[in-house]
Structure 1
Amino acid sequence: MRDTTGTLDEALQRLHVSGPERLGRLTNHAPMAVEALAARGRPEAVHRWLDLYAPKLEEFPAAVEPVTDANWRAALGDPRRAADWIGYFDRRLADEQRPWRDVLAEWWPRLLPGMYGGSTHPVIRVGHAVRTLLETETETETGTERGAGAVEPGSPRLAELAHGLGYWAARHRRVTGLTPLPGAAAAAAALDAVVPIAVRDGGFPDRLDRVKDLPVWAAAVTEPDEARRALTELVRAATHRYATHGHGDEVMLVHAATAPNAVLRALPALPHALWVPSLHAAWTASAAVTAMYAPDAPVAYEPPGTFTADEVFERALTHGDEHVIKMTDTALDVGDERALTAALRSIELGEPLWRSAG
């Protein structure tokens, strides 16, 4: 349910004076979390949540040199150029002759091979931005003077897509040299076949360097509709798996589900020709995160009761942690009882926002 109160636009404007990261490496999750709150029908909670999260925000970074159509390759993957990249996409998305879908379609194949930088947060931020833009199009499809699916130039929602794409370009990082291992037909079994890296310490970039072997899954998929079905299966499997494996790292293992779900959310805005490579990149991301943070053994988990989807999301909001909110948002996309159980597990494992903010 799209927010029609204007609260999301206000929150995004409030956030766009902040940078995409803090402390030089940690992601600003606020734009993703407030979009999830608005999308789940809780706009009245947006600013209250944001007030709690505000101490974690940092000022927007300084620009270095404008990114242009001529020099962008030299700036790709340079986190010092985040402001330059965001400015570039702001300019591209401000062009009324170029719909946002066209900009996304042009840049998606350039950015997709590097979706592993920034702990996969950039593609997740883009997925949230695309969901909002698609919902905006649906709301304005009838009766708008600007035509079906219009999004006003200068909209905070277009600006949010610019921030997401710019962050992705600045943190662009490839995964190369992987050795394929025997996989499985089903996504859940393929995730079970992932072999954890031998040394599981250090941050995301260090661990990612140690990922050398991943099982093969969905390699034979060649048709767009097959890719969408497979990606949906992967999101479901990774979400379900969190309930029994999330204790390996309650924060980072969230991304095994939320990163492929971000790709799934973007598919309707992308040309069909990009759906199959998007599936393969999403599998690599989910499997790599699994390899980097998997626990030594699963642990059975029984939820504390039976709850509706709305009740689970209310619990996530009360908890407040940004990863818990995003995990629950993805669990609600999956929509079954096992997914809600995984969301409840994330609530149990995560540190509440009011505690970390205090």
Structure 2
Amino acid sequence: MTSDLDKLLESLELLAGTGAERRGYLANHGPMAAEALVALGVAGAAPGWTRLYRPILEPEPPERFRLDAADWREHLGDLSRLGDWTALFRRELAERDWLEVLRAWWPRLLPGLAASATHGVIRTAHGVRALTLAGPHPMLVDELAKGLGFWAARYQELPGSPALRGPDPLGVAISRLPRLTPDQIGHGGGISGDLAHLDGLAGFAEGLDRYGAPEAPDAVLDELISAAARVFLARPDAPIEFCHAVTGPAAVRLVLPHLPAEFAAPAVAASWQVVGGIVAAFSPERLDGLDVVLAEPPVAETLVERAVASGDAHVIKLTEAAFREHARTGDAALLHAAYAMADRWP
């Protein structure tokens, strides 16, 4: 573990001073992918990958105006305050245990789970896993501050408040969701910009309410992540959007064991809201047959080799999440999705 930690810390050191985004809306995947490479058992590849990735990144924005406990709500989703949000979490983490800070802020940030196409929660989750395994090293604590700060600055609520007590199983609920039309998306702002159009989509909130989920939160995540992998496989023209429908809820699962039990139900409801939002925004066709029987999954070693060889952060992160979730459910769709992602992403 020490050697793996050294490689992760080396990678984070290479990324020091870089911002959470580049080109106005693209997330900095460096810390997430480096940590995922460590989790995949190829920690030695992380620093080299990071060196190749580092030149495309932009500087971290500075703190401009101090954010205080009294006024944080009005600045949620204000990207111009990204440096201020990161500074707020650095102060909080300097004064309190990281778990205490996480538990205080999770319910505040959860309604904005869609932040940066779920990259806010994903970066937070990778930071949480590193802290859990390696302890409160200052660089790992700072990575958590950056993840939480990014989530807060890109905070994005979607319509609806699903109770998960509807009449339909997940596949039926997905197939019946209303959809944006192709001319409504692709006008700037990336995935987050497109998801914002859901505010005007008639019947979206009601469609979310159609899903009748299992009682156990982990079982809900099992269903959502497996269905998202099948949606991904069914839509080869849109790999990035549907990749996040897998990695976002998988990130929520990484964090839930460190939170109070009562946080789980709202977290899985928000995860369905995001998965449903991605389907409604980026899949104009009705998707049926999500229970398709798949062939034997690819060999694990092959998937890791392909992820590393791709050099792409999304492939690396999806492969790691697919391994983790497949170990729980045995659903071959997850590993097929990882294999397909390596093929689809140039």
* Native 8 Å contact 1:241 1:342 kept in 2: no
Match for residue 119 of structure 1 among 114, 117, 120: 117
1:31-110 equivalences in 2 (<5 Å): 31-95=31-95, 98-110=96-108
How far did 1:173 drift?
Answer: 1.8
Distance 1:180 1:280 in 2: 7
Structure 1, unaligned stretches of length 5 or more?
Answer: 137-150, 352-358
- How far residue 183 of structure 1 moved from its aligned partner, in angstroms, is 6.4
Q: Is the 8 A contact 1:187 1:233 kept in 2?
A: yes
Residue 324 of structure 1, aligned match among 299, 304, 315:
315
CA gap 1:218/1:86 in 2 versus in 1, 3 angstroms: farther
Distance change >3 Å, CA 11–CA 220, structure 1 → 2: same
Give per-residue Cα distances to partners, 1:169-213, cap 9 Å, x unaligned.
Answer: 111121236899996644344333333212343232442232231
Residue 280 of structure 1: CA displacement?
0.6
Letter in 2 for 1:168: W
Distance (whole Å) between structure 2 residues aligned to residue 304 and residue 129 of structure 1: 34
Alignment-mate amino acid for residue 343 of structure 2: E
Deviates more, 1:298-307 or 1:190-199: 298-307
Kindly provide the CA deviation profile for residues 259-283 of structure 1, in whole angstroms up to 9, marking residues without a partner as x: 1111111100111111000011111
State the SS of the aligned residue for 2:178: coil
Question: Partner of 1:106: helix, strand, or coil?
Answer: helix
* Distance (whole Å) between structure 1 residues aligned to residue 124 and residue 50 of structure 2: 19
Give the distance between the partners of 2:36 and 2:196, measured in 1 at CA. Answer: 31
2: CA distance, partners of 1:290 / 1:261: 17
1:282-301 matched pairs, under 5 angstroms: 282-294=271-283, 296=285
1:209 aligns with 2:196: yes
Give the TM-score normalised by structure 2: 0.86
2 CA distance for matches of 1:272 and 1:40? 28
Measured in 1, the distance between the counterparts of 2:180 and 2:333 equals 27
Cα gap change, 1:333 to 1:193, in 2 (>3 Å)? farther
TM-score, scaled relative to structure 1: 0.83
Alignment pair present for 1:333 and 2:324: yes
Alpha carbons 1:183, 1:193 under 8 Å: kept = no
For the structure 1 residues 237 and 304, does the alpha-carbon distance in structure 2 shift closer, same or farther, using more than 3 Å as the test?
Answer: closer
Greater helix fraction, Structure 1 or Structure 2 = 2
SS in structure 2 of the partner of residue 65 of structure 1:
coil
2:178 match:
195
- Match of residue 220, structure 2, among 225, 230, 236: 230
| Count of aligned positions | 331
Question: 1:236 is matched by which residue type in structure 2?
Answer: S
Identity of aligned residues (%): 34
Distance 1:70 1:13, change over 3 A: farther
Q: Does 1:159 align with 2:132?
A: no
Task: Choose from 321, 329, 337 the match for 1:342.
Answer: 337
The secondary structure found in structure 1 opposite 2:239 is coil
Which is worse superposed, 190-199 or 52-61? 190-199
Question: How far apart are residue 89 of structure 1 and its match?
Answer: 0.8
| CA distance, structure 2, for counterparts of residue 309 and residue 230 of structure 1 | 25
RMSD over aligned Cα atoms: 2.9
One-letter amino acid of the structure 2 residue matched with residue 194 of structure 1: L
Q: CA deviation at 1:306?
A: 5.8
